[in-house]
């Protein structure tokens, strides 16, 4: 039955404990183990073992990963081990898999066939509109908070009807908004991210035969990063597994970092209770990091309480110490990182081996600027991504309307873009009508044009022009291939013209981005669930679900930038943890909250354990973020790393900053525009950062750390502040 040669390919690259887990008899299993101990490797090899040694059909396996990137890597690895394409396998994120189910069973799920996905920004805009429509005060009913209320209830599996207001008027109003939001989504045929999960759960819960079908099909359910599952994901898994399936969960309680988004680390223990026959496996050898990095991470995390406890060790070398850099300010920090990147590359390293990790997205900008001016290619994961840019969303709104007229969000977005004389008042009339009739804006507009409602003749004709345009575009593109469709809609919509005329507001860049959208469509190959959809719907779903990953130029050798949350599960030879200041990391919000602080510490643990060979911690004594200056204290997490593992790096040239100066550092300047830590330019030496100064006024001398020339003392008159 089995080919021993193939099995050795699966089993040889494993240690004893890993092999035991991979070849364990069928039954519920939990692998609880620390960072870099091979959990993901075990899960991947288990899939192949099930197929090769247990004759499991690839169709009978469902594997859940945390990001689309991880899913792609896992699929690739499985195919490589199997030696055949693993097309039948369902590997994806919870959201991706839920989406796939709902596409297949839209009818049972009570959704329109062409339902669209509402991203977080669209969701917030819709909620804002509902708040306004109720004449509620936005200062009291903050859209972001209402959004949080709705999403966290969905994450817990609660619909408005099942929520009790406990005679609390605030809660009463929130529940009411949640209910209205649901109605609006249903009318527009859209679902948000949390809805994908809840709906996928309900469609099984409420359809016995459908559930029975999937239970028969997916006997093997494997879940990575189990510590970050939320209530609805757990319930969904349990429902699918039933009493006959084989759940295989792997996780690490020390890496639970999504509590704020509803993740429940308790699910690890809940799993043991719900599957009392489950076997527990532990892996203790770390294969990723040097001894020093592992010891630093272990030292840090030992400050947390209530851990499930693990003993993680490595047989690898101790390696370099952890390097700590105290920057004057955020620009100096970015310069330091740039230097180190150049050194790495000069010594034969690749840029893609380097990760810049930070707590908050906004920190990326200064690095981006430094990298751009230093010509260091980089890629930002997360943050404002291509598919989230305004012009791209405009274009997508047209495409979505072409595909589904009832998409109210898209209707609102482009009905008067480019301007065609449809004013706020006419739109109000349409909205009112839609509300009264319980219809979509599109249907309401049609009714208003045909004389119902109180639309003036001019507005009616403008609106009718818009609707004819959409109908015409839909007709014209029906026979075109995807990228021609996108191109045609962009041209026909007038968006390209509109942005071409826009001379000030980055019009040119926007047109370039729109062109890029056509290229994106041309290069688009649907994968997984998307391959079962018509191309345009597949592309639109892709745009919402996968923005940020697989961003342009994935092939180029570039430095990887991302938030700590995004870095989970990944590994890099060289890692920079930047912005290690109390208030930034740990985050301000968590400073007075023990649970919050422990979650931040786990996040720091995740960050440190991404590093294989070199780990840098950097902080700035002065930082401008969101336009505000702050003077940060070194992060407490730095102090929690054993001293003997850390080597402090002074700015490039060994200067000990005079105490008096460092105290005055931020208030005093050597000359106008010349503060310590400020940037200056020299005609010959280029750009640099001021490290020190003496004297003042015209006799002042400053010490500048030049990017390429190192540190020099000079008169201020030769320098130009930047």
Residues recognised as catalytic:
39-40, 224-225, 255, 610
Sole binder of ligand ATP in the list 39, 45, 565, 636 (CB under 6 A): 39
Binding site partner of 287, from ligand ATP, Mg ion, none, Cβ cut-off 5-8 A by kind: ligand ATP
Which of the 8 DSSP states describes residue 59? G
The answer to the question of residue 227 lying near Mg ion (CB under 5 A) is no
Binding site partner of 252, from Mg ion, ligand ATP, none, Cβ cut-off 5-8 A by kind: ligand ATP
Sole binder of ligand ATP in the list 10, 17, 36, 316 (CB under 6 A): 36
Neighbours of 280 (CB within 10 A): 12
Half-sphere exposure of 144 (CA within 13 A, CB side): 1
Residues 332 and 689: beta-carbon distance below 8 Å: yes
The answer to the question of residue 607 lying near ligand ATP (CB under 6 A) is no
Least distance CB 647 / Mg ion (angstroms): 29
Least distance CB 606 / ligand ATP (angstroms): 7
Least distance CB 225 / ligand ATP (angstroms): 7
The answer to the question of residue 93 lying near ligand ATP (CB under 6 A) is no
Residues 217 and 60: beta-carbon distance below 8 Å: yes
Residues 581 and 635: beta-carbon distance below 8 Å: yes
- Count residues near ligand ATP (CB under 6 A): 19
Integer CA distances (angstroms), 341 to 37, 350, 377, 554, 609, in order: 28, 9, 11, 19, 20
Which of the 8 DSSP states describes residue 168? -
The answer to the question of residue 485 lying near ligand ATP (CB under 6 A) is no
The answer to the question of residue 314 lying near Mg ion (CB under 5 A) is no
The answer to the question of residue 40 lying near Mg ion (CB under 5 A) is yes
Span near Mg ion by CB under 5 A; candidates 277-285, 523-531, 568-576, 617-625: 568-576
Residue tagged 């000079």 (tokens)? 714
Residues 410 and 441: beta-carbon distance below 8 Å: no
Least distance CB 257 / ligand ATP (angstroms): 11
- Positive or negative: CA dihedral 166, 169, 171, 177: positive
Least distance CB 393 / ligand ATP (angstroms): 33
The answer to the question of residue 251 lying near Mg ion (CB under 5 A) is no
Give Cβ neighbours of residue 649 (< 8 Å, ≥ 6 apart): 323, 324, 325
Binding site partner of 297, from Mg ion, ligand ATP, none, Cβ cut-off 5-8 A by kind: none
Q: CA angle, corner 538, sides to 532 and 542, nearest 5?
A: 125
Binding site partner of 298, from Mg ion, ligand ATP, none, Cβ cut-off 5-8 A by kind: none
Q: How far apart, in Å, do the first and last CA atoms of the chain sit?
A: 72
Span near Mg ion by CB under 5 A; candidates 471-479, 563-571, 612-620, 682-690: 563-571
Judged by beta carbon, residue 288 or residue 602, the one nearer ligand ATP is: 288
Judged by beta carbon, residue 247 or residue 607, the one nearer ligand ATP is: 607
Least distance CB 282 / Mg ion (angstroms): 15
Span near ligand ATP by CB under 6 A; candidates 38-46, 109-117, 228-236, 240-248: 38-46
Judged by beta carbon, residue 45 or residue 400, the one nearer ligand ATP is: 45
Half-sphere exposure of 549 (CA within 13 A, CB side): 14
Sole binder of Mg ion in the list 86, 251, 316, 569 (CB under 5 A): 569
Sole binder of ligand ATP in the list 100, 288, 351, 613 (CB under 6 A): 288
Span near Mg ion by CB under 5 A; candidates 11-19, 422-430, 448-456, 569-577: 569-577
Least distance CB 40 / Mg ion (angstroms): 3
Sequence-ordered strand ranges (E) for 465-516: none
What are the backbone angles phi and psi of residue 88, rounded to the nearest 5°?
-70, -15
Helix (H) or strand (E) holding 689: strand 686-694
Residue list 244-273, contact with ligand ATP (CB under 6 A): 252, 255
Residue list 624-643, contact with ligand ATP (CB under 6 A): none
Sole binder of ligand ATP in the list 106, 148, 287, 313 (CB under 6 A): 287
Binding site partner of 15, from ligand ATP, Mg ion, none, Cβ cut-off 5-8 A by kind: ligand ATP
Integer CA distances (angstroms), 459 to 79, 276, 411, 436, in order: 58, 67, 16, 20
Integer CA distances (angstroms), 79 to 3, 42, 74, 87, 231, in order: 17, 15, 9, 9, 32
The answer to the question of residue 41 lying near ligand ATP (CB under 6 A) is yes
264, exposed or middle or buried, with CB in 10 Å at 0-12, 13-18, 19+? buried
Give Cβ neighbours of residue 76 (< 8 Å, ≥ 6 apart): none
The answer to the question of residue 535 lying near ligand ATP (CB under 6 A) is no
Across-strand partners of 354?
574
The answer to the question of residue 255 lying near Mg ion (CB under 5 A) is no
Give the residues lining the site for ligand ATP (CB under 6 A): 13-15, 18, 33, 35-41, 252, 255, 287-288, 569, 571, 609
């Amino acid at each position: 039955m089995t080919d021993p040669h193939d099995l050795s390919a699966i089993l040889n690259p494993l240690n004893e404990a890993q092999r035991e887990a991979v070849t364990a008899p069928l039954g519920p299993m939990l692998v609880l183990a620390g960072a870099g101990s091979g959990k993901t490797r075990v899960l991947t090899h288990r899939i192949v073992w099930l197929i090769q040694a247990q004759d499991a059909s690839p169709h009978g396996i469902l594997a859940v990963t945390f990001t689309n990137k991880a899913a792609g890597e896992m699929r690739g690895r499985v195919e490589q081990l199997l030696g055949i394409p693993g097309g039948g396998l369902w590997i994806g994120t919870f959201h991706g898999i839920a989406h796939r189910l709902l596409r297949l069973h839209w009818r049972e799920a009570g959704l329109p066939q062409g339902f669209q996905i509402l991203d977080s920004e669209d969701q917030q805009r819709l909620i804002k509109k509902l708040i306004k429509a109720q004449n509620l005060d936005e200062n009291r009913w903050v859209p972001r908070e209402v959004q949080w209320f709705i999403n966290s209830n969905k994450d817990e599996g609660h619909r408005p009807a099942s929520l009790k207001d406990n005679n609390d008027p605030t809660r009463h109003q929130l529940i009411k908004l949640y209910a209205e939001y649901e109605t609006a989504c249903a009318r527009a045929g859209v679902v948000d991210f949390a809805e994908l999960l809840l709906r996928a759960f309900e469609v099984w819960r409420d359809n016995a035969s459908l559930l029975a079908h999937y239970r028969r099909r997916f006997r093997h359910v494997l879940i990575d990063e189990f510590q970050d599952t939320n209530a609805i994901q757990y319930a969904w898994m349990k429902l699918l597994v039933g009493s006959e399936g084989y759940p295989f969960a792997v996780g690490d309680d020390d890496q639970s970092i999504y509590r704020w988004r509803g993740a429940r680390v308790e699910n690890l223990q809940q799993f043991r209770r719900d599957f009392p026959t489950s076997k527990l496996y532990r892996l203790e050898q770390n294969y990723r990091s040097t001894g020093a990095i592992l010891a630093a991470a272990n030292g840090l995390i030992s400050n947390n309480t209530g851990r499930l406890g693990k003993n993680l060790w490595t047989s690898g070398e101790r390696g370099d110490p952890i390097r700590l850099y105290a920057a004057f300010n955020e620009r100096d920090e970015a310069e330091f990182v740039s230097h180190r990147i150049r050194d790495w590359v000069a010594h034969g390293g690749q840029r893609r081996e380097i990760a810049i990790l930070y707590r908050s997205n906004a920190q990326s900008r200064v690095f981006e600027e430094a990298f751009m001016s230093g010509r260091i290619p980089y890629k930002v994961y997360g943050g404002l991504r291509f598919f989230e840019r305004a012009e791209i969303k405009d274009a997508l709104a047209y495409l979505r309307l072409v595909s589904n007229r009832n998409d109210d969000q898209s209707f609102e977005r482009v009905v008067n873009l480019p301007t065609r004389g449809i004013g706020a008042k006419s739109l109000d009339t349409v909205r009112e009508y839609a509300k009264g009739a319980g219809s979509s804006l599109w249907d309401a507009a049609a009714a208003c044009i045909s004389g119902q409602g109180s639309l003036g003749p001019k507005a009616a004709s403008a609106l009718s022009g818009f609707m004819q345009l959409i109908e015409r575009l839909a007709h014209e593109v029906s026979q075109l291939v995807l990228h021609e469709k996108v191109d045609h809609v962009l041209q026909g919509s007038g968006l390209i013209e509109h942005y071409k005329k826009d001379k000030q507001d980055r019009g040119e860049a926007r047109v370039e981005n729109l062109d890029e959208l056509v290229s994106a469509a041309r290069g688009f190959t649907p994968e997984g669930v998307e391959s079962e959809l018509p191309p345009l719907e597949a592309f639109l779903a892709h745009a919402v679900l996968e923005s940020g990953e697989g961003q342009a130029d994935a092939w180029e050798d570039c430095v990887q930038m991302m938030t700590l949350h995004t870095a989970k599960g990944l590994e890099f030879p060289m890692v920079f943890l930047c912005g290690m200041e109390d208030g930034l990391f740990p985050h301000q919000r968590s400073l007075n909250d023990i649970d919050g602080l422990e979650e931040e510490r786990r996040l720091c643990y995740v960050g440190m354990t991404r590093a294989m060979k070199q780990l840098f911690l950097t902080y700035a004594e002065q930082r401008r973020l969101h336009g505000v200056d702050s003077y940060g204290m070194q992060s407490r997490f730095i102090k929690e790393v054993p001293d003997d593992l850390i080597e402090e790096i002074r700015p490039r040239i060994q200067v000990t900053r005079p105490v008096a100066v460092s105290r005055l550092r931020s208030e005093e300047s050597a000359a106008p525009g010349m503060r310590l830590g400020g940037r200056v330019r020299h005609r010959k030496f280029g750009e640099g950062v001021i490290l020190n100064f003496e004297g003042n006024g015209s006799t002042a001398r400053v010490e500048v750390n030049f990017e390429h020339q190192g540190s020099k003392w000079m008169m201020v008159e030769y320098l130009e502040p930047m």
